[in-house]
Structure 1
Amino acid sequence: MKLVTRAQWGARDYRRPNGATLYSGKRRGVKLHYLGTAYSDRPHAQCAAYVRQLQAQHMDGNGWSDIGYSFVVCTHGYVYEGRGLSRRNSANGSTGLNDQDYAVCLLVGSSGMTKPTDAQLHGARDAIEYCREEGPAGTWLGGHRDGYATACPGDAVYAWVKAGAPRPNTSKEDDMPLSDADMKKLADLVADRVWKKDGLTVRWGTKENPDWAAYSILHHATEVVRDNRVRLQKVQADIGALSGVVSRLAEGGGLTAAEIQAAAEAGAQAALAKLGEQLTDTTPQG
């Protein structure tokens, strides 16, 4: 969660004793709010000033002891600490409603910018989870209009709330497979940034294909691994067969123990030498 503390956004000190009133018990859940006035989006550098303006409106215009909300979420996904987790909010409509649920306000309006951004929805979801985990708040979730006669938090935010406040799906592009052209660009980038930079020995090109580049080498390496797996399996089978022959010879007594051992060692060395030759043959030649 991108939390902006009161000190960080430059909050005024709250009035006492009312601004210091604590919740009387655990909160049932979280209520979502909007501004209810026109709002225009702004660069993030100006969001803290707007939250200070909102606090001034609540304290000097409404006569409240502090900004009314528990938390405020800007369109860039930052969560501004209002009255926070411990002090009772004054935004839900009555003392009982304020004591019952946290109040989280999204900086969207009844006109102008009326729909929250994806970043803002992520921030609001962060605030909800923060209230539940640290508050503590129960799992109930609603809008200001639930239990109070108001249009708040607006139709767009309320529809999101009634859907369970899901995080926006921002992974659609990530699920798209890379094209062959993209794969080749990625392979060339790896070669330039890793292989060449670190001085790794890579044979660029073969007699058959002198234009080999990083993608070709990576593709070839995949085929080599597959071929070597087959060769290793064949060597294991040969060694197993050799062991069986040795066992039968030992049982029949046709050879001495020393002769059997020598034959086994020679067979194993021949198999390993053959494997080494096969592995060498897979290396691209310059």
Structure 2
Amino acid sequence: MALKLVTRAQWGARAYRTPNGATPYSGRRRGIKLHYLGTPYTDRTHARCDDYVRQIQAQHMDGNGWSDIGYSFAVCTHGYVYEGRGLRRRNSANGNTTLNNQDYAILLLVGSSGLTKPTEAQLDGARDAIDYVRREGPAGSWLGGHRDGYATACPGDAVYQWAKAGAPRPVSEEDDMPSKEELYDGVMRYDGKMLSPWGTPDNPTWMAESVIERTAQGVHTLEQAVPKLAGQVGALAAIVAKLAEGGGLTAAEIQAAAEAGARAALDRLGDALTEGN
């Protein structure tokens, strides 16, 4: 699975406070601790996940007085990985300074009630986040929950059992069949824009309606060009066939063969379009 990372800039994170929010890790961490919200949580459309992550940051900074959102990363139920404090910045979610310095902190957006079990997409996203932190953090192979070394029910039984099993990816017969929402989320970004095949490095995203309009123009151009091209191909094929019979051709014979070939090609194209519809 490819990591679906949502950067701080993309989800609209506030700037963290210094100096505490900028405390770097001195080197490799022991591993990763998983977390849950510890409050009731109701699933939502992916378009509202950004709002919720901003809400968490506001609670941590304004309610708890922390320098930033507490977690290193957060994973929504749709499998997207939100950059919290990110790589190489000490988190504040594991209970105390020693524990925060020991392990990275990854939050799964599930609650103590309501939605308490992670979705398959979320487990895939969390697995991607774990692999990413181990590779780029860097972090060691240790994996557990907030409750390891600190008196708390976090990350809940479902997430904790998954962590202790080694965080396996979910097995599904439909793993290779993305949902409509996943396909949509795969191209949609923010402010109603999407990645465009006609984009440039300076302007990679277009408004969705602009992409649709450009696509429609391309389809219209093809609709006009295909019959003409098919006629030309048919005409050439008829001429070649006539030449293969041997002997010279008069101008009238060439014209008749071209017209017959064109009509036949257009008839075949019409039949194919009818069957396609």
- TM-score in terms of structure 2 length: 0.62
- Give the aligned partner of residue 64 of structure 1: 66
1:30 to 26, 29, 32: 32
Residue 169 of structure 1 pairs with residue 171 of structure 2: yes
Q: Deviations over 1:139-159 (max 9, x none)?
A: 000000011100000001001
The one-letter code sitting in structure 2 at the alignment partner of 1:120 is Q
What is the deviation of 1:171?
2.7
Question: Alignment length, in residue pairs?
Answer: 180
- Give the aligned partner of residue 100 of structure 1: 102
Superposed CA RMSD in Å reads: 2.1
- Give the aligned partner of residue 140 of structure 1: 142
Quote the Cα distance in structure 1 between the aligned partners of 2:15 and 2:28.
25
Distance of aligned partners of 1:167 and 1:64 in 2 relative to their CA distance in 1, 3 Å threshold: same
Quote the Cα distance in structure 2 between the aligned partners of 1:14 and 1:99.
18
- Give the aligned partner of residue 43 of structure 2: 41
Q: Deviations over 1:18-57 (max 9, x none)?
A: 1000112211101000000000000000000100000000
Q: What percentage of aligned pairs have identical amino acids?
A: 80
Quote the Cα distance in structure 2 between the aligned partners of 1:140 and 1:82.
20
Quote the Cα distance in structure 2 between the aligned partners of 1:17 and 1:57.
19
What is the deviation of 1:170?
1.6
Aligned partners of 2:36 and 2:108 also within 8 Å: yes
Residue 10 of structure 1 pairs with residue 12 of structure 2: yes
Quote the Cα distance in structure 2 between the aligned partners of 1:164 and 1:25.
24
Quote the Cα distance in structure 2 between the aligned partners of 1:139 and 1:173.
26
The one-letter code sitting in structure 2 at the alignment partner of 1:9 is W
Superposition pairs of residues 44-193 of structure 1, within 5 angstroms: 44-171=46-173
Quote the Cα distance in structure 2 between the aligned partners of 1:160 and 1:81.
22
- TM-score in terms of structure 1 length: 0.60
The one-letter code sitting in structure 2 at the alignment partner of 1:58 is H
Q: Secondary structure at the match of 2:33?
A: strand
Quote the Cα distance in structure 1 between the aligned partners of 2:14 and 2:139.
26
Q: Secondary structure at the match of 1:169?
A: coil
Q: Tell me which protein shows more strand as a share of its residues.
A: 2
Quote the Cα distance in structure 2 between the aligned partners of 1:87 and 1:171.
38
Q: Secondary structure at the match of 1:45?
A: helix
Aligned partners of 2:27 and 2:138 also within 8 Å: no
Superposition pairs of residues 194-205 of structure 1, within 5 angstroms: none
What is the deviation of 1:137?
0.3
The one-letter code sitting in structure 1 at the alignment partner of 2:11 is W
Distance of aligned partners of 1:79 and 1:172 in 2 relative to their CA distance in 1, 3 Å threshold: closer
What is the deviation of 1:9?
0.2
Q: Deviations over 1:146-181 (max 9, x none)?
A: 11100000001001111110000023688xxxxxxx
Which runs of structure 1 show a deviation greater than 2 angstroms over 4 or more consecutive aligned residues?
Answer: 171-174
Quote the Cα distance in structure 1 between the aligned partners of 2:27 and 2:92.
16
What is the deviation of 1:92?
0.3
What is the deviation of 1:14?
0.2
Quote the Cα distance in structure 2 between the aligned partners of 1:91 and 1:107.
14
- Give the aligned partner of residue 21 of structure 2: 19
Quote the Cα distance in structure 2 between the aligned partners of 1:12 and 1:44.
20
Give the structure with higher Rg (CA): 1
